[in-house]
Amino acid sequence: MIKTNDEALRRKAKDLLLEFKGGDYAFGQGVLEKAGSFAKEAGNSCLVVASSSSWFKPYLERILGSLRSHGISLAGGRVVTGVSPNAPREDVYRITTYILQHRPQCLMAVGGGSVIDAVKAANVLASLGKWKPELEPYFGTGKVTEALNTHSASLLPMVAVQTVSSSSAHLTKYSNVTDPVAGQKKLIVDDAIVPSKAVFDYEVTKSSPAELTADGALDGIGHCLEVFYGAKGDKYDICRRIAEVGIELVVMNSAKAVENPEDLSAREALGLATDLGGYAIMVGGTNGAHLTSFSLVDIASHGRGVALMNPYYTVFFAPAIQDQLRIVGRIYAKHGYLNEDVEKLEGRRLGEAVAEAMMALSRKLGFPTKLAELPGFTKAHIERAINAAKNPQLEMKLKNMPVPLDSASVDEYMRPILQAAATGDISLIKNMA
């Protein structure tokens, strides 16, 4: 029964992704060599920025072979490597220098979210930097398009080759860049930075470390979940379709993939699910958990931070998302993570039950469920998160909440959420009247 359901979910996931990206996206098993033909559409010279992870080197060689077979030269004669986790600003500037020096006809980012986000941002800076040579003016929503229109400029075509089931950066309009001094992520949100083409060969992920697999899987749940929580009006139905399939694929398969990295069926399921997370965030935006995770970059991976915070925001949002919670709760109950009848629960108690189920899955994967369990956590992280939430550049995250906040209400409502997450005491969370 479960196997049949899994197969049906995969079919639904593939149909949704084709609906989303069509022929601009090659996904599945055995599609890695598609990278060369996609790059060829843009020209004969390509700057390749790639992950330096040792586990990925054999796959990188296949990609480079695909480029050579299509007559494409490496701009600068080498692969650019060394992007650090969370795409530090300095790496963006370094990649920008390579682009300006070698003037490629296209860019190719090969890696996870950090590599892809760094190349997106570098593309912006290389294309627009002669007018504003810093990243700061492009953080926020729609700033890149505004600048491109003002200067009659364009970005370089970009091919994104995803290597992990996680952020879905290869499909989206988001670039997260970290200011290492402030310990804070900043966000470019703009349709102009969506990669022209994308490739994700799910088979590649079988070599991915277990920790990275778990991080990515729960990041994928976070995308589907947060967008679905905030969905309204004509967006609700598509967000529901995406969330129902994406969340269940992760709940069913994340532990399998972590326990047995060679389980290609589970690997494919997580690839499909996290890709659906990309579809979700192109329909609507993430909110509370993602916002808070930006302030935890020095103590937690992105996926870990999102997974830890989402149960607490679930309790906060609960009275406003009863329909969503019943749908999500049924999924967790079906797979043994929730023992109560969600049809008989309502209000805050329904939110608490779903939050407890989410924490149960996190524990199964060896994840922390409260901030105090993160090495290096201090009360300063709470203050950093509160201050970040008041930053106008991140205002969209507050507006995306199913119970929208503004900077004036952050202290009253978000602070108790963070205090609850620090201690694990959900009773501290204050619902809006």
Take residue 328 and report the two structure tokens written for it: 């999500």
Distance CA 134, CA 183 (A): 18
* Of the residues 145, 174, 203, the one at which a domain ends: 203
Q: How far is CA 178 from CA 59, 112, 184, 304, in A?
A: 28, 15, 6, 17
Q: Are residues 156 and 292 located together in one domain of the fold?
A: no
Under a CB-based contact definition with an 8 Å cutoff, are residues 291 and 308 in contact?
no
Is the residue at 223 inside a domain?
Answer: yes
Burial class (CB in 10 A: 0-12, 13-18, 19+), 322: middle
Take residue 45 and report the two structure tokens written for it: 């010279």
| CATH number reported for the structural domain that contains residue 43 in this entry | 3.40.50.1970
Is the residue at 41 inside a domain?
Answer: yes
Mean pLDDT within 16-29: 96
Q: Are residues 173 and 214 located together in one domain of the fold?
A: no
Per-residue pLDDT tens digits for 176-196: 999 888 788 899 999 999 999
Per-residue pLDDT tens digits for 366-390: 999 999 999 999 999 999 999 999 9
Degrees (nearest 5) of the Cα angle 189, 84, 106? 60
Give yes or no for residue 264 having a pLDDT over 80. yes
| CATH number reported for the structural domain that contains residue 392 in this entry | 1.20.1090.10
Distance CA 87, CA 74 (A): 23
Total domain count, the chain? 2
Q: Are residues 147 and 64 located together in one domain of the fold?
A: yes
Q: Are residues 89 and 185 located together in one domain of the fold?
A: yes
* Of the residues 171, 186, 203, the one at which a domain ends: 203
Q: Are residues 308 and 339 located together in one domain of the fold?
A: yes
Looking at every residue in the chain, the average pLDDT score rounds to 95
Q: Are residues 216 and 350 located together in one domain of the fold?
A: yes
Is the residue at 48 inside a domain?
Answer: yes
Q: Are residues 153 and 217 located together in one domain of the fold?
A: no
Per-residue pLDDT tens digits for 312-326: 999 999 999 999 999
The single-letter code of the amino acid at 385 is A
Residue 1 is predicted with a pLDDT of 39
Residue 185 is predicted with a pLDDT of 87
Mean pLDDT within 208-222: 93
H runs (alpha helix) in 365-404? 379-389, 395-399
Q: Which domain holds residue 411?
A: 209-428
Q: Are residues 246 and 107 located together in one domain of the fold?
A: no
Is the residue at 9 inside a domain?
Answer: no
Q: Are residues 376 and 420 located together in one domain of the fold?
A: yes
Q: Are residues 191 and 220 located together in one domain of the fold?
A: no
Of 133-137, 158-162, 205-209, 256-260, least confident by mean pLDDT is: 205-209
Q: Are residues 223 and 326 located together in one domain of the fold?
A: yes
Per-residue pLDDT tens digits for 240-261: 999 999 999 999 999 999 999 8
Beta carbons within 8 Å of 166's beta carbon, 6+ residues apart: 112, 113, 212, 215, 216, 217, 219, 220, 274, 302, 303
Distance CA 14, CA 16 (A): 5
Nearest to 247 by CA among 354, 400, 379: 354
Give yes or no for residue 267 having a pLDDT over 70. yes
Is the residue at 16 inside a domain?
Answer: no
Distance CA 159, CA 374 (A): 35
> Alpha carbon 281 to chain centroid distance?
8
Burial class (CB in 10 A: 0-12, 13-18, 19+), 331: buried
What order of strands is seen across the sheet that includes strand 184-189?
Answer: 140-141, 184-189, 174-179
Per-residue pLDDT tens digits for 387-422: 999 999 899 999 999 999 999 999 999 999 999 999
Is the residue at 7 inside a domain?
Answer: no
Residue 42 pairs with which residues in a beta bridge?
Answer: none
Distance CA 390, CA 410 (A): 7
Residue with tokens 């992920």: 205
Q: Are residues 327 and 181 located together in one domain of the fold?
A: no
Take residue 107 and report the two structure tokens written for it: 């860019």
Share of the chain above pLDDT 70, in %: 99
Give yes or no for residue 145 having a pLDDT over 90. yes
Residue with tokens 């967008």: 227
Is the residue at 257 inside a domain?
Answer: yes
Per-residue pLDDT tens digits for 268-301: 999 999 999 999 999 999 999 999 999 999 999 9
Is the residue at 344 inside a domain?
Answer: yes
